[in-house]
Amino acid sequence: MVQTYPAPGGHKDILTHQTQRIEDLDAQVADLMQQLAEAKRVHAEDKEHHAQEQEEDADVLQKAQEALEVAKAETDQERASKETAEAFIRKRTENLRQIAVKGWEAEHEKELKALKEALVHKQDIINDQKEDINILAKRIKDLHFAIVDLRKKHESRCARWTAIRKAVRDREASSGEKDAGNCAGED
């Protein structure tokens, strides 16, 4: 804004001019204060929104971690069950071998048949358990990828909010330096 000064000796004009200048500066200060209040409000809203997102991400990560622990426990249980079944089969197989070696096939034909059926049944159980273990392994892998994805999203959000906060600080700093320059230039 170009300021004009009154002719020499016009004290009333000087007073009017100074009053107008003060009113202009007051208006600029009020406008800057309004801008600062708006920036603070936006910053507070951003901070609150960021806190909510972090809380939601933490909940999702916690649930994923709990699901991963459950899946690991189920896998360990399936593994133990499989090992028990394999030990049973080995024991029964050894018993069958001993029976065959000693020539007891005729005496124990019913038991051998029952043992063979038990072996077939146990083998079916083992096959089912292998399938369950494969499914659990896939679930663990999927959960791992979900956790990695959530971490990437969280880091991205943090970087975005850091950039926004930096931009707001830079804007506030820039606005402060510009105002200081204007005031100094008008004196």
Alpha carbon distance 7, 17 (integer Å): 11
CA distance 126 to 97: 21
What element of type H or E holds 59?
A: helix 11-102
DSSP structure string for 91-148: HHHHHHHHHHHHT-TTTTHHHHHHHHHHHHHHHHHHHHHHHHHHHHHHHHHHHHHHHH
Q: Which fold has domain 11-186?
A: Helix Hairpins (1.10.287)
Per-residue pLDDT band for 4 (boundaries 50, 70, 90) equals low
Per-residue pLDDT of 112-134, as tens digits, reads 788 888 889 989 998 999 998 89
pLDDT of residue 10: 57
Higher pLDDT, 65 or 178: 65
State the pLDDT at residue 14. 75
Share of the chain above pLDDT 90, in %: 19
Q: Mean pLDDT score of the chain, rounded to an integer?
A: 80
